[in-house]
Structure 1
Amino acid sequence: MADLLDVAGRVAAVPLALLARARGGRPMHPRGVVLAARLTRTGLPRPTGVPWLDEAGTDDVLVRLSRGAGLPPRLPDLLGFALRAPGERPVDLLLSSSGRRPWSRRVPVLRRDPATTYGSIMGYRSPAGPVLLAAAPVAAGVFDLGARVGRGPEQPFGRVELGAQTEPPDPPLHFDAVLHPPPGLVADGPMARFRRPAYTAARAALGEPLDAVRPPAR
């Protein structure tokens, strides 16, 4: 099965690379806006052995809200919530508009309003078992980040407060959730094996594996 997924990812990488060149950078989610944001991690109530989920901390981050197919705003689209915590080892989260119930966070749902729930279609491996991440709006410009570990319930571990748009409003910020998972987590499962070669092709088409865009100082 893993070999088939790898082959499928390599096959998909060819049109994705061509699309990235045609669109000048992004094969998917071509339209979006990047916002400076503050991530405040409060930690999960039950330790998992993953510092990024367990420990409290505050980071200046970047969040890109986007439309998967780049359709006009009046039409539903697969919306994206991408978070970058810069550093020597950046952290990238890629979430897609999904069902509103914890059990449906992995089900992609077309929506118009970016103030919606987002889930990680791709899972992670951790010392405590499989991990799925999600974001849910709690106020205007504020999202709670949650994690479901193993068969347990989804629980909040942090909050993202969106700020001002960057300048330019949609800089060439390239996310890779497979290469840059949170510390202590490993991208795992069918979607990770499918995405890995596709991401590699997209980075090659873009010419730069990472960008130098950083959140402005607060």
Structure 2
Amino acid sequence: MTPWMWTSAVGSVLGDVFGTIARFRHDKPLHPRGTVYDAVLRRTGSFEPWGVEWLDLPGEDHGVVRLSRSVGLPRPLPDVLGLAFTFNGPAGDRHDLLLATTGLRPGTRFALLPRRDPFAVPYSSLLPYRAPRGLVLLAAMPTAGAGFRLCAATPAGRWQGFATLELSGRTGSGPDRPIRFDPVLHPLPGLSWPPELARLREPAYAAARRTGHPAGN
């Protein structure tokens, strides 16, 4: 089986699974409950450029962050945690960044790890984006207070900071709100998914969209 056939087949299976879970729950298939915060991403730029302005140059993005538990297990049980950030670019285009709790070392960057405290653990994109200068993983590492340091790295390279993400307070009167994230429909500025990974992710998000509950955080 060719790589194209393999990723298409796996993506189709994931699409069926996510669609079935969403219909059964009448809700999101994953990350059903979360807490939403106002957030500001202050970009300082990357020391080693990626050929993407959003990573390489200073700037500021205002949006919201949602912290959630993927399966929805009750606390204090550990769960794979999610951090989702959505914001609009200068032209009004929406951009979604979805991260999950993983390891940071090269051998664990592609492994989902259950965690308890959403403000004390690292998150990563799990799958790499494609930039003009190669594949790039994104990660959020906790800092003092309710904030994170955003970093970028090649799949086996050293993490380099390029921004800070500051969470300022919960939005609205409740801990959650009906916000949906979709990194396939709303990619990050200047970044794209490698074709093989796009074929792997798209069926799951497409199936969840048909139920009215996207698969993301």
TM-score normalized by the length of structure 2:
0.88
Contact 1:177 1:187 in 2 (8 A): no
Question: Is residue 2:97 matched to residue 1:90?
Answer: no
Q: Shift of residue 151 of structure 1?
A: 5.3
- 2-side partners of 1:62 and 1:53: how far apart? 19
Q: Which residue is equivalent to 2:110?
A: 106
Q: Deviations over 1:122-146 (max 9, x none)?
A: 1111111000000000112010000
Contact 1:128 1:149 in 2 (8 A): no
What is the percentage of aligned positions where both structures have the same residue? Answer: 45
Aligned residues: CA RMSD = 2.1
User: Where does the alignment leave 5 or more consecutive residues of structure 2 unmatched?
Assistant: none
Q: Shift of residue 73 of structure 1?
A: 1.3
Counterpart secondary structure, 1:135: strand
Letter in structure 1 aligned against 2:124: G
Match 2:36 to one of 25, 34, 37 = 34
Contact 2:106 2:157 in 1 (8 A): no
Contact 1:81 1:95 in 2 (8 A): yes
- 2-side partners of 1:3 and 1:79: how far apart? 31
| Residues 1:89 and 1:3: Cα distance change in structure 2 (over 3 Å) | farther
Matches within 5 A, 1:177-216: 177-188=183-194, 190-206=196-212
Q: Shift of residue 100 of structure 1?
A: 4.4
Matches within 5 A, 1:170-181: 170-181=176-187
| Residues 1:6 and 1:96: Cα distance change in structure 2 (over 3 Å) | same
Q: Which residue is equivalent to 1:20?
A: 22
Q: Which residue is equivalent to 2:147?
A: 142
Match 2:136 to one of 131, 135, 151 = 131
TM-score normalized by the length of structure 1:
0.87
Q: How many residues align?
A: 209
Q: Shift of residue 207 of structure 1?
A: 7.1
Q: Shift of residue 99 of structure 1?
A: 1.5
